[in-house]
Chains A and B, each alone.
Chain A
Amino acid sequence: MMMRLMGHASSRNIRRLCTALALCAVPAVRAAAQANLSTQGFGFPTGQFSTRTWGTGGALAELDPLSPVNPASLAIIPSRMLFFQIEPEYRSVSTANGTDRTTTARYPVVFGALPIGHGWVMSLGSSTLLDRTATTVFNTTQFLTPTDSVAMLTNFRVVGAMNDVRLAAGWAPLTWLRVGFGAHAITGSNLISITQSFPADSAQFSAFTQQRILGFSGAAVSAGVQLVSRFVTAGLSGRRGGNLNMSAEDTLLTSAKVPSRFGASVAFTGIANSAISVRTSRDTWSTLGSLGNPGLKAVDSWDTSVGADLAGPRFGDRILFLRGGFRTRTLPFQTDAHTVTEQSFTGGLGSAFASGHVLGDLALIHASRTAAGLSATEHAWTVSLGISVRP
């Protein structure tokens, strides 16, 4: 399908698209009330999915070259390509105290790919492994002595993410076989900002802000394979985590292992221009437990999804792809000793523009997150917009 979508470009449209991309790339000040189920611990795992894969609930992750999961899928890319994705999430968290509604903007995937000949394609990209960006605002009362107390307003803000920078290569030695390898650098930082003010007694007490940057550095390797037949395509990949360090300025704070992962997708491709797929993967998030405070509890998780990417109506000589899917998974970090699970229903569209030089995908995800035994629920609508360009 990827091959088919690529055509000749209209440079004018390319320029327009680049303008749109530039607008999308404007850094956004992001914040959300962190009193939620999804952004516990070191943050929310966005999944490292492309918009197309999102549209199928994640079921195509091992087969989709735009999802930085299986390096073998890179071998599909026929020409130079740049890809960018934006994902605003509109979230509501309900507890007995009420409902918080917040917006979080994410830019989870960006990468470029370059065919280098003989069936090899190289790729360099960055994707969000764990997004911790959030803001919590809450009131407390601090007792300084048994008779002296002060009301405090705390603004706890975290900006940043743990990112997965991948240098990968895919190779198609045979028409039915693709293999790939990746080297991963786990980077990124969390800018922690705490502001405490004393609105009820600003004459005596003076507000303050403390900031701290937690930096991450780690490494991992990955490998994958794809087997292609007329009616079935299967993908299998794994990532082996190396050491992961967290430091503040020049001080090493904690160490852990980058979570390892393995996953597999099987897709039925017997319908023209379509794929119906199922996928499951296992992430060993528990290796991150030692990266935080002793109370941090990370759990290994399964991530399973089923979805379809179907050729829909035609607009001229372009096909509009229709997608849908379902996903269920466990989130990596517990909240208050309760494991958080997520179920998502997804849908999406996709097509090619500018004579196949531009691929545009749109996905809509509705996720419900719960923690058994905890009287809190979280619902989120996520809009994913992915644009890939062949310069």
Chain B
Amino acid sequence: MNKKVFLMFAGVGVVFSIAACSEQLDAGKSCPLLCPEQAITLLDTTIDATVADTTVTGLPSIGNEGYLMLASHGDTVQSRAIIRYDTLPQTYTKSGLDSTIVNIDSAYLITPIVKPDSLKRPKVPLTIEAYDIDTTGTDTVSAILAPLFRPDRLIGSKTFAPESLLDTLRIPISTDSVLDRVKNGTRLRVGLRIVSTQGADLRVGSTGLGLGVTLHIRASKDTAASPVNVAPVSHTPTDQPFLSGPLADYTLVVSGNTQTVATLLGVGGVPSRRTYMRFNVPSRIVDSTTIVRASLLLTQAPNRRLDPHDSVYVYPLAVLASPAITDVASLLQFVGPAGQFGLDSVRVAPADSGVVSFEIVGLVRTWHNQPTTVSPRSVALKSGVEGQAPGEINFFSTKAPVSVRPRLRITYVPQINYGLP
């Protein structure tokens, strides 16, 4: 009996202990009547915190584009896609045995593209022409390569109806040209050009994304013979793989290069560009408060030159290089990935105007109690289709009239003695 009663008490104790450990939390319906503490008051300030801003063209550097921009807009913009096949195989496999290529039945460029969205799909058929642009000259320079897009170097072409522009295009090229390179063990370098009666853009896959244009060779009509697929590869500049690797394919702008004037900041465009901004935020805010909102307010200047209504995502990015690097072009290549620190993009069209707000609170919070040598007070702006589409977004810079200059709006929690009843 004694034992049973004891166990009963112990059981009751355990039950109450467990019950006590549970938590029920309801909304404070009795607030503000009985709430002894209220929400912390937020303060808001807008400051001219930008101490330096500039636009650097030519970023990303040649060969580092995500997609290749194949554009034809009359006299406004002309660009080409260059693909290098510096190594061509001389054998193919048939019935499990290697055979020397002595004939080529067919050769295609298997060309991945980004399917144009319904608003941007060409209205008329377009033709993609392939040219042999191999040369001994400096073959990344427009002045050298552009003249090579001439009829005697045309090695293939195909016209595509607008509805056939899906995900991959097959462009036949001259089998004789390919066979000649294969037999002689020389390289094949191809330039693609778009021809249309209206302005047209295509985004072509690149090796940088693992979507390079593949040279597809069928050396025999025999179905037992396996086709040969050749990926782009570049061997020049020689002995500099850091440079030659990206040049396996790249965009060549033939015409339409522009510069951004000093009163503007540019993002995207031709050639593609990025913007660098450096701030000076008072220590009393960045170090002594808790920042809950930081908005970079930029006033957009309409740019109606190209694709004025094609929306572009503009990304604010953290600059990861230390101030030891003073070259802005270099700084803009040491940037964090999109979305780092919770930085979100803003979707705008080149022809838009008005104030655009970039929310950078996640980045600004990293500045808290950190010296600028550790956490630079800077941000980069880049286009989500930089080097791939010609649209350029412009914002007014610090050299523009005061009313449209960049501003930083910060909402913060001041340092208070909270917690005392």
Contacts and interface: CB of A to CB of B under 8 A. Distances in A.
Contact of A203 (B18, B359, B418): B359
A315 B5 contact: yes
Contacts of B357: 204
A286 interface: no
Nearest to A96: B33
B421 A142 contact: no
B139 to A, nearest CB: 46
Interface in B21-59: 21-42, 44
Interface stretch (A25-33, A66-74, A170-178, A223-231): A25-33
B292 interface: yes
B30 A95 contact: yes
B30 A31 contact: no
B23 A29 contact: yes
Nearest to A142: B42
Interface stretch (B6-14, B117-125, B226-234): B6-14
Contacts of B16: 24, 86, 88, 383, 385
Contacts of B37: 34, 136, 156, 194
Contacts of B20: 28, 86-88, 103, 105
A301 B10 CA distance: 37
B290 interface: yes
B17 A86 contact: yes
B420 interface: yes
Nearest to B1: A316
Contacts of A315: 1, 5
A35 B33 contact: yes
A132 B36 CA distance: 11
A93 B32 contact: no
A94 B28 CA distance: 11
Given A140-B39, A194-B418, A206-B362, A145 B31 contact: no
Contacts of B27: 33, 100, 137-139
Nearest to B412: A208
A77 to B, nearest CB: 21
B29 A95 contact: yes
Contacts of A13: 3, 6
A205 B26 contact: no
Given A28-B20, A105-B21, A212-B419, A138 B2 contact: no
Nearest to B23: A31
B29 A24 contact: no
Contact of B28 (A88, A137, A254): A137
A221 interface: no
Contacts of A36: 30, 34
Interface string A335-371: 1100000000000000101110010101000000000
A252 interface: no
B2 A97 contact: no
A124 to B, nearest CB: 23
A353 B357 CA distance: 72
A138 B3 CA distance: 49
A103 B22 contact: yes
B35 A138 contact: yes
Interface string B273-295: 00000000000000000111101
Contacts of B9: 353, 360, 362, 387
Nearest to A141: B39
A86 B16 CA distance: 8
Given A28-B20, A318-B2, A385-B16, A140 B7 contact: no
B39 A142 contact: yes
Contact of B359 (A33, A144, A204, A351): A204
Given A29-B23, A100-B30, A316 B39 contact: no
B352 interface: no
A106 B86 CA distance: 78
Contacts, number: 223
Contact of A26 (B17, B22, B292): B17
A135 B25 contact: yes
Contacts of A97: 29-30, 33
A198 B292 contact: yes
Interface residues of B, number: 58
Interface stretch (A37-45, A54-62, A179-187, A232-240): A37-45
A206 B292 contact: yes
B339 interface: no
B21 A28 contact: yes
A118 interface: no
A165 to B, nearest CB: 22
A204 B26 contact: no
A158 interface: yes
Nearest to B344: A203
Contacts of B359: 203-204
A194 B37 CA distance: 10
Nearest to A317: B2
B413 interface: yes
Contact of A136 (B7, B35, B41, B344): B35
A4 interface: no
Contact of A205 (B6, B7, B41, B411): B411
B342 interface: yes
A138 B418 CA distance: 17
A23 B17 contact: yes
B373 interface: no
A387 B11 CA distance: 12
A196 B292 contact: yes
Contacts of A385: 12-13, 16
Contact of B5 (A214, A318, A336, A355): A318
B135 interface: no
B325 interface: no
Residue among B18, B42, B413 with max Cβ neighbours from chain A (10 Å): B42
A21 B330 CA distance: 65
Given A16-B6, A29-B21, A362 B421 contact: no
A247 to B, nearest CB: 12
B13 to A, nearest CB: 5
Contacts of B418: 192, 194, 210, 212
Interface string B330-343: 00000000000010
Residue of B17, B19, B418 with most chain A CB atoms under a 10 A cut-off: B17
B95 interface: no
Contacts of A145: 44
29 contacts: A17-B6, A20-B10, A20-B13, A31-B23, A33-B30, A34-B34, A39-B36, A86-B17, A88-B16, A93-B29, A95-B33, A97-B29, A99-B29, A102-B24, A103-B20, A103-B23, A138-B35, A192-B419, A194-B418, A196-B413, A204-B357, A205-B361, A206-B293, A212-B418, A318-B2, A318-B5, A335-B34, A353-B6, A362-B12
Interface of A: 10, 13, 16-17, 19-21, 23-24, 26, 28-37, 39-42, 86-88, 93-95, 97-103, 105, 132, 135-140, 142, 144-145, 148, 150, 152, 154, 156, 158, 190, 192, 194, 196, 198, 203-208, 210, 212, 214, 246, 253-254, 292-293, 296, 315-316, 318, 333, 335-336, 351, 353-355, 358, 360, 362, 374-376, 383, 385, 387
Q: Which 3 A-B pairs have the closest CB atoms?
A: A192-B419, A35-B30, A105-B20
Given A16-B6, A103-B24, A194-B37, 8 more contacts: A34-B37, A40-B36, A42-B421, A148-B44, A208-B413, A315-B1, A362-B9, A385-B12
